[in-house]
Amino acid sequence: MRPTLDRVREAWMSIVQPWLSDAHVLDLYAGSGALGLEALSRGARSADLVERDPRVFRVLQQNVATLSAGDAARLHRVDALRFAAKLGPLEYAVAFADPPYETDAAVVLATLWLDVPFAGILGIEHSPRQQMPGAPAIRRYGSVAIAFYQEPSLSRDTP
């Protein structure tokens, strides 16, 4: 598990804050659940947290229980790409993804979103060396980059 750095998570949350109020959010490759749980603490109505690894999933369950996230956090122990591939248009207001850097999962996920924008805003953490499809807005934080994709029909400013 490679958790998102605190300063990166804080910047990420600040960027999507305008879309979090009463929102349904998705945290793909949830790991500890830091992104989805942070979104709940900032006003999201619900968070679906997706994590495949059984050991990491147990940590996620403990974190949800410790923070008393209750019914607001729905946990899914499945592959994140398979989960995303089944989604329809705009099922979530905001989606977070922190896939492993050593795979092509970030590019595959972006391609899935470009085909069917399952969230109004999708942020994908990735290596700054990785080229992301679809000309997203990119924010760089040292050895980390976040590609932001936004459904064009949203009326708020681009992240």
Tens digit of each residue's pLDDT (9 = 90 or more) over 133-146: 998 899 999 999 99
Residue 22 and residue 46 in contact, taking contact as beta carbons nearer than 8 Å: no
Write down the mean pLDDT value for the chain: 93
What domains does the chain contain, in order, with CATH numbers?
6-150 (3.40.50.150)
pLDDT value for 1: 46
Q: Residue 159: pLDDT above 70?
A: no
What pTM was estimated for this model as a whole?
Answer: 0.93
Task: Please give the Cα distance from 47 to 137 (Å, whole number).
Answer: 24
Please state, as a whole number, how many other Cβ atoms lie within 10 Å of the Cβ of residue 70: 9
Query: pLDDT tens for residues 34-69?
Result: 999 999 999 999 999 999 999 999 999 999 999 999
